[in-house]
Amino acid sequence: MKNNFNLKVLFLINLPLLVHWLTIFTLTSLPSESLPSVSLGDKIEHLIAYLVLGFFLYFNILFQNNWSLLKRNIFLSAFLIALLYGAFDELHQLLIPGRSAEFIDWIADVTGAIIGVTLAHTFYKSLKDTILNFFNPKLEPLSD
């Protein structure tokens, strides 16, 4: 049963965060002329990217057992990690040709992160039993 739990967490919790985080880093590492054109506004793109990051971070912290300090306040931990990464990402863009660090982009990142973490928290609180049963079902004895 433990292996089944680990596989579910890996594929449904850990892997989406890793893929999304690598996507954010990759896209923000491209020179501005290499970026794909998306019809959403720049600030909306930041907000959505960090909304998803905050959502995934919340569940990754919730289902990990290595960092008890993070788990004491999952909401705050996920939000602070996203906030700090947003700041790092904006500063990192100063090194990329044609890119710049903008405070208003970071504000959009922070706004998205707080929305994403809030959605994850609300989602988890309202469906806690269902989520926990899905990731760690109790074995029932077979009836004769």
Report pTM.
0.85
Over residues 26-44, the mean pLDDT reads 78
Asked which of 26-30, 71-75, 123-127, 134-138 is least confident by mean pLDDT, the reply is: 134-138
- Sole residue written with tokens 């965060």: 17
What percentage of residues in the chain have a pLDDT greater than 70?
Answer: 87
Closest CA to 45 of 81, 91, 86, 8: 86
Reported as a single tens digit per residue, the pLDDT across 49-107 is 999 999 999 999 998 888 899 999 999 999 999 999 999 999 999 999 888 899 999 99
What is the residue-wise DSSP string for 67-121? -HHHHHTHHHHHHHHHHHHHHHHHHHGGGSTT----HHHHHHHHHHHHHHHHHHH
Q: Please enumerate in sequence order all residues whose Cβ is within 8 A of that of 24, keeping only pairs 6 or more positions apart, or say none.
A: 49, 53, 89
Residue pLDDT, tens place only, 63-76: 888 889 999 999 99
